[in-house]
Amino acid sequence: MTSSLAWLDTSPDEQRRVREMLHLFMQPESRDELGIGQIRDAFSDALFPGTSTLQTRAKYFLLVPWAYLDAEGKGWSPERVRSHAHAVQKRLVPAIESSGDALGLIGVRARDAVSQLPSDVYWNGLATFGILRSRGPAGQVSSPASVDHEADELHQRTLSPWHPTIPPAPTGFPNAPLPDGLALTPAEASWLRERILESAPGTLLTHLIATDRAPDGDSATPWHDSVCQTVDGPARGILLHAQRFSLAMEGASRLYNLLVGEAYEAAGFDRVESPVEKQSTAYQGWVEASGADAHALRSWDLDDFWELALRLNGRISHRTRFFVTDWVTSIQRGAHRTALTDELLRSMVANRERSLKKTQSRLTNAKLLGQWTGAAGLGRLTYRWTTVRRIVTDVHDGMHRAGT
């Protein structure tokens, strides 16, 4: 019997979180071993609403609505509209692949067998940015019935679940090749820019969209990006908290990997070469790197951090708060420098993983320990930055594109 994943009565946002979680499980050694994903996601949403780690290019914020609008006015049932839109999205793969800009094309390998369509990935973002004006099950919308009079066109657009000013699809869509591929035209980029500015005011995302230049092409984190560094207001405070949380919890992840490496060697596994030596070096590297931000970490106001984090997500558990607070406090008093031999800190991290994973803990499950590839956990948190940088750059490139 094959297994399947069914959506019961879940919101688009909840569905998006589950898809991201499943995506992480498909990536080697990217599980949330220490249970900090809720905090990471809360800050990711606050900094960059409407985004997800599964998104690839900004153009899909138009391609998905166009796939549904291709059925508009036919009076079809929501199920038939969705089926038609799914078929259109699959047909777009070769139409985009033949263009000069297909980087980030969803379904390029699976083709007609693709199980995760762009509409699955972008649905929450489409609703967040007001492009989709009715929230419901992912991929399901009602199409307004066909009308006979031109005078009723405005009324029909008002009934549509899609934003009434969305730019028209290219000529021949969805059957003709897309000459622009996944690149935005100036009109498309301008329209998408306005939707983001209108729907997510005061966020780091709108700051990036509103400025006159794209993010740095090689910035690994938002706090190392020169455009992000110019943000002010509440978004700056959120970014600073996110940066300090990322730096602090990277140390816990490094220490956890050292503990796994020690258990791995003790159990006689040898597929990973010199795991203890490598993980010890990695942890010491983090200690040295954190030294440059020692003052910021020592002066970090955890009460202010938790007030913000709980406002963003009130479901963060007490146990998670205790673990994070204890770990950060240990850094603030300098204990992290001796964590390689400090049994208290080692036990803190080990107990956290065992309490979360239970029988799936690498520290107690020999089978899972043997499958370790040399690194586990979320590592440095970047809050979807790679995805956001690409999407924002698409908008800037489209705005400044000439000859279209």
| pLDDT higher than threshold 80 for residue 13 | no
| pLDDT higher than threshold 60 for residue 27 | no
135 neighbors 127 (Cβ within 8 angstroms): yes
57 neighbors 182 (Cβ within 8 angstroms): yes
Distance spanning both ends of the chain, measured CA to CA? 52
Count how many Cα atoms sit within 13 Å of the Cα of residue 229 in the half-sphere of its side chain. 7
DSSP letter at 176 equals: S
| pLDDT higher than threshold 50 for residue 236 | yes
- Predicted pLDDT of residue 403: 54
Distance CA 325, CA 337 (A): 17
Q: Which of 24-33, 143-152, 266-275 has the lowest mean pLDDT?
A: 143-152
Count how many Cα atoms sit within 13 Å of the Cα of residue 366 in the half-sphere of its side chain. 4
Distance CA 295, CA 379 (A): 22
Mean pLDDT of the region 108-117: 73
Rg (CA), the chain: 24
Structure tokens at 36: 């900090």
Positive or negative torsion for Cα 381, 382, 383, 387: negative
197 neighbors 392 (Cβ within 8 angstroms): no
Q: Which residues are CB-contacts of 330 (< 8 A; sequence separation ≥ 6)?
A: 336, 339, 345, 348
Count how many Cα atoms sit within 13 Å of the Cα of residue 134 in the half-sphere of its side chain. 14
Distance CA 93, CA 105 (A): 7
- Predicted pLDDT of residue 181: 94
pLDDT mean across residues, the chain: 88
Mean pLDDT of the region 320-325: 98
Please report which residue ranges of 144-274 form alpha helices under DSSP H.
153-159, 186-199, 204-210, 234-266
313-to-3, 44, 240 alpha-carbon distances in Å: 31, 11, 18
| pLDDT higher than threshold 60 for residue 98 | yes
111 neighbors 90 (Cβ within 8 angstroms): yes
For the chain, percent of residues with pLDDT exceeding 90: 74
pTM: 0.89
The torsion angles phi and psi of 135, rounded to 5 degrees, stand at -85, 135
Enclosing H/E stretch for 300: none
Mean pLDDT of the region 125-135: 91
Q: Which residues are CB-contacts of 387 (< 8 A; sequence separation ≥ 6)?
A: 51, 52, 53, 54, 55, 56
pLDDT digit string (tens) for 138-196?
A: 667 765 544 444 545 544 556 789 999 999 999 999 999 898 999 999 999 999 999 99
Count how many Cα atoms sit within 13 Å of the Cα of residue 279 in the half-sphere of its side chain. 29
143-to-7, 159, 221 alpha-carbon distances in Å: 22, 8, 41
